[in-house]
Amino acid sequence: MTVNILFAARAERWDTYRQPLTEALTAAGLRFDLRTDFAPDQVDYIVYAPNSDVQDFTPYTGLKAVLNLWAGVEDVAPNPTLTVPLARMVDDGLTRGMVEWVTGHVLRHHLDIDTYIHGQDGIWRRDIPPLAGDRPVTILGLGTLGQACAAALTSLGFPVTGWSRSAKDMPGVTCRHGADGLTQALATAQIVVLLLPDTAATTDILNAETLSLLPRGAVIINPGRGPLIDDDALLAALETGQVAHATLDVFRTEPLPADHAYWSHPQVTVTPHIASETRPETASRVIAENIRRGEAGAGFLHLVDRSLGY
């Protein structure tokens, strides 16, 4: 039996995904028809980007699952017309990219590399940084990405505290959860890395109150989601010195408007949502495996809990 797979994403994505998906689906032993233009009632699976033209899933009467190309599902999980299983993207390439970006920026701030890059003024500065063991890092979010980053940082000697909404256990990491746990996790954090999903419960999780819990001069690194931070509160904390620097990769509005205060602020580094990206080759294998499992009657991987939004 042939499986009909609709690729629903922007045209440029089709150009980069068609061959890797074809190869991965073939390697999975599937008989398939992969297109961008099926009649809705003929579709078995949708390989999906939330910014595609498909927003109403009602016509897809034979749909078995929607397989998201992105790690974030906040723009599709609340869709009331989506009643079939939704899988988020958990991709080894995406994970490795995030680990590299986070580790690089944690080390950049830990070693105060910016001072030497921007301080070529003839002054011989010898401010010896502490060792990693004396630089506590807190990661907000202990999902796949958070755990991978925590493991990388602990391997370098950083004392890592991880916070999540529900209890987690990870060797070598001090795990906190709940409201009290958040207070404890922030109280010691010289560097904070945000890797939470964007949900009603996580919006503005860094605000005036929680930023005040940090040790003075802490650094914020956000490759997670823009709405995790109250922008006005962060700018105020930067002005007072409560926060020494913020490295931000994600924003409420993207691209970040040219007149936004972050662009010109001397204590903010803006990167254009490049911390990690889904890689077509590795992501295609994840998608093919989920379709193979669906056709075999096995459970789908990486299913979204619609009640939690991730």
Q: Which positions are annotated as active-site residues?
A: 225, 273
CA distance 184 to 300: 36
Q: How many residues does the chain have?
A: 310
Count H helices and E strands in the chain, helices first.
Answer: 9, 12
Helix (H, G, I), strand (E, B) or coil at 193: strand
Q: Which two tokens stand for residue 51?
A: 């910014």
> What sign does the dihedral 116-158-167-90 (CA atoms) show?
positive
Q: What count of other Cβ atoms lies within 10 Å of the Cβ of residue 301?
A: 13
Q: What φ, ψ does residue 196 adopt, rounded to 5°?
A: -90, 155
Sequence-distant (6+) residues with CB within 8 A of 52 are 8, 9, 10
Are 278 and 9 within 8 A, CB to CB?
Answer: no
Closest CA to 143 of 206, 66, 202: 202
Q: Which residues contact 125 (CB under 8 A, 6 or more apart)?
A: 115, 116, 119
Q: Where are the alpha helices (DSSP H) in 124-279?
A: 144-155, 178-187, 208-211, 231-240, 261-264
Residue 114: alpha-carbon gap to chain centroid: 25
Residue 71 tokens, joined = 């790690």
